């Protein structure tokens, strides 16, 4: 079947053929560019899933470009999330040595408990919490960065704060 005969990318035979021919190439492209074969393979799967979900909107002759763009955008989002996560892991500054040993011990324990509470948050909650509380981004800025609504950011922050308070009460 010629792809010019199709009105969209929803044809099973076309989709399977596209997957067989492009999946390895897109995976290799992402692996080369981002040096992470496992994530590259995941992003290829996500890209094809996105294509399938939007197949009625994507013309067959645009499917290849669409897949590359979706896979690359997803990989970039993942890289950005990793940067934020790694940047904020040691977000509580270490104390100076002027305090007494009791204070230092209590602060270290508290720091560890806060880190554990943050680590228990979902990825979305953790990301919003760190961007707002550490990077001082507004909800509007965060919504724009994450490509979600301000309401979604508010909801993630609310849930993050509830979870942190819950963990804090158990301390």
Tally of domains in the chain: 2
CA dist., res. 72 & res. 74, Å (int): 5
Instruction: Give residue 121's domain range.
Output: 98-169
Whether 27 shows a pLDDT value over 50: the answer reads: yes
As a whole number, mean pLDDT of residues 29-40 equals: 85
Statement to judge: residues 61 and 124 lie in one domain: no
Model confidence over 126-135: pLDDT tens digits? Answer: 888 888 888 7
Residue whose entry in the numeric block shows the structure tokens 């609504």: 149
The answer to whether the pTM exceeds 0.85 is: no
User: Does a structural domain hold residue 86?
Assistant: no
Residue whose entry in the numeric block shows the structure tokens 């955008």: 73
What mean pLDDT value characterizes the chain?
Answer: 83
CA dihedral over 62, 65, 67, 70, signed as positive or negative: negative
């Amino acid at each position: 079947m010629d792809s010019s005969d199709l009105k969209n990318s929803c044809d099973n035979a076309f989709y399977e053929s596209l997957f067989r021919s492009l999946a390895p190439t897109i995976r290799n492209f992402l692996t080369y560019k981002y040096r992470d074969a496992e994530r590259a393979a995941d992003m290829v799967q996500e890209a094809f899933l996105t294509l399938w979900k939007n197949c009625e909107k994507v013309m067959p002759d645009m499917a290849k470009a669409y897949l590359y763009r979706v896979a690359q955008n997803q990989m970039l989002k993942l890289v950005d999330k990793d940067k934020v996560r790694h940047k904020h892991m040691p977000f509580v500054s270490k104390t100076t040595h002027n305090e007494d040993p009791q204070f230092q011990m209590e602060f270290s324990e508290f720091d560890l408990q806060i880190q554990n509470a943050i680590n228990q948050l979902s990825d979305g909650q953790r990301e919003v919490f760190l961007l707002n509380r550490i990077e001082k981004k507004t909800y509007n800025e965060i919504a724009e960065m994450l490509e979600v609504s301000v309401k979604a950011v508010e909801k993630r922050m609310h849930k993050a704060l509830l979870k942190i308070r819950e963990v804090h009460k158990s301390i």
